[in-house]
Amino acid sequence: MASDIEKKIIETIKKKSNLKQKVFNNTYKVFKDLKSLLSEIEVNYNKQLKDDVVVAPFKYKNISDFQCELKVAGDVLVFQMHSNVFEFDRDHGVWKISYIQNNEMATFSGIINIYNFLADSFKYNRINDLGYLVGRIFINKDFHYFVEGKRQMGFLYNNFGNATIDKNKLKEIVDTAIAYSLDFDLLVPPYDNMKVITVEQIETKRQTAHIQTGKRLGFGFRADDVHGEDKNLIYTGG
């Protein structure tokens, strides 16, 4: 006969495993919808701009099951779905809304991160360049969502229990991220940060533009180079 603690362990695993698998599946479905949307955005914006620009400024690229990107003129927006499911820490504002207080299991969420990079960082393989977290989308078991982000990217937490993610909401989020990134300009680095350079750096720069570049000092990010097609994926924990 199983002890009380064994029963508790088994019950917790069954409860959380099923919940996290559902959250993972929901988030992955939204991410697939996002990929389809980004491909449509590429075509739509390029069509509208074809008479005004020489080179099409929008370019969608699928990288892997959990990553894709949209080039927008001199910027690249990288969309990355995390393969794990997360719980909010107790200091997070989401705990203050009634939806969560009445349904704590609703806080378990998948995350889709949106990063902003310079297109030249990838073009010239400047692996030390910086990317910046523009926003992140949280999605739960009921497809309820909210967005944390910079300025207009941030939605109110109290939308979490009411707002359900769909293609129109995704379009609004992506357009907002594009607009924010286009307004987020590259600043000249401080003179004192650039006045000294090593022989190794200048020699390397002859091969690639290797001086670290970014719009602001912020998040670092390494691009995923694993390519793959959509397939049935199983949440593996976390």
Give the chain's radius of gyration (CA, Å).
Answer: 21
**In 88-165, at which residue ranges do the beta strands (DSSP E only) sit?**
110-118, 132-139, 145-149
pLDDT of residue 186: 61
Dump pLDDT digits (tens) for 17-65. Answer: 999 999 999 999 999 999 999 999 999 999 999 999 989 999 999 999 9
pLDDT > 90 fraction of the chain, expressed in percent and rounded: 47
CA dihedral 138, 144, 148, 153 (to 10 degrees): 120
**Token pair in block for residue 12:** 């917790």
Under the banding of pLDDT at 50, 70 and 90, the label for residue 194 is low
* Residue 63, CA atoms < 13 Å, CB-side half-sphere: 19
Dump pLDDT digits (tens) for 157-176. Answer: 567 888 899 999 999 999 99
Cβ within 8 Å of residue 109, ≥6 positions away = 23, 27, 85, 86, 87, 88, 138, 139, 140
Q: What is the pTM of this model?
A: 0.81
**CA-closest candidate to residue 175, choices 38, 76, 36, 31:** 38
pLDDT of residue 57: 95
**Token pair in block for residue 36:** 């389809």
Kindly tell me the sign of the dihedral angle through the C-alpha atoms of 79, 85, 89, 93: positive
Give yes or no for a contact between 138 and 99, defined as CB atoms under 8 angstroms apart: no
CA–centroid distance for 162 within its chain: 22
pLDDT of residue 217: 37
pLDDT of residue 230: 45
